[in-house]
Amino acid sequence: MEILLYKMEGRFIMMIETVSVNKFVRRQVKGSGKTYADSLTFEEIASHGEEQLKQGHHKQGYRDGVIIVQVEDKLLHHFICPFVQISDKTKLRAVVTRRRPNEAPYIQIRALNGTPLKTGSVDLILYRHDVLAETDEQTSDTDWELISFHAIPEGIHDMPMGPVTMMRNQLQLTGGTKAYYESEDWAESVNFWQGYAMLDTESSNSDI
């Protein structure tokens, strides 16, 4: 937990920043095609995020009330990176799917072959309680909730948000969180996702 001191009416008031697990992140398990942890529980990941928050190991996210917390190097081996680098030999599949039943369908791209890249760093994405409350997606009454986590391939310093997520946020579609992105943000997102794809682990070893 992060302990903050605020001066109010001549006195210092202690405030504690707490982190819990949002139900949305629980989809990140083996076989999901997303980053997952092979030997850490979601609660352990959230607890680590709380400790890192206390130590100041975080940066501002895409809007107020969203922060990115860096995982300690000693824990990186627990996180499995789902990305492969796209080449002329990469086979891709597009499917129409939904994240949740109440959201609009979108086109999901997955790689059907390739070797997952080594994890270089891991970002924990935390949303503040009031931001989640804007769309009634809070799971607890803690200050912050773990929404997702991303294993970033070695050599990549900042992984752009996916363009579909950006669209959902900027247009304030169901499942999105209000935000606005500059043209450079859009260009960086498209550029990254033209070069990398998540591996479809269920199909990667089958005939196509």
92-143 pLDDT, tens digit per residue, is 999 999 998 999 999 999 999 999 999 999 999 999 999 999 999 999 999 9
Q: Are strands 36-37 and 66-70 parallel, antiparallel or unpaired?
A: unpaired
Cα distances (Å, whole numbers) of residue 78 to 39, 74, 170: 6, 9, 33
| Cα–Cα distance, 199 to 113 (Å, whole number) | 7
- Cα–Cα nearest to 61, from 148, 168, 154, 190: 148
What is the per-residue pLDDT across 164-181, written as a single tens digit (0 to 9) for each? 999 999 999 999 999 999
| Cα–Cα distance, 41 to 179 (Å, whole number) | 30
| Cα–Cα distance, 108 to 192 (Å, whole number) | 15
Cβ–Cβ under 8 Å, residues 48 and 72: yes
Residue 55 has pLDDT above 80, yes or no: yes
What is the per-residue pLDDT across 58-78, written as a single tens digit (0 to 9) for each? 999 999 999 999 999 999 999
| Cα–Cα distance, 169 to 151 (Å, whole number) | 22
The pLDDT confidence band at residue 202, using thresholds 50, 70 and 90, is low
| Cα–Cα distance, 75 to 123 (Å, whole number) | 12
Q: 171: Cβ–Cβ under 8 A, 6 or more apart, which residues?
A: none
| Cα–Cα distance, 7 to 13 (Å, whole number) | 6
- Tokens found for residue 45: 């990941």
CATH 3.40.50.720 is the classification of domain 17-198: no
Cβ–Cβ under 8 Å, residues 145 and 21: yes
The domain locations on the chain are 17-198
- Give the percent of the chain with pLDDT over 90: 84
Question: pTM of the full predicted structure?
Answer: 0.81
Q: What does the angle CA 143 – CA 146 – CA 148 come to, to the nearest 5 degrees? A: 150
Q: What is the biggest distance separating any 2 CA atoms in the chain, rounded to whole angstroms?
A: 70
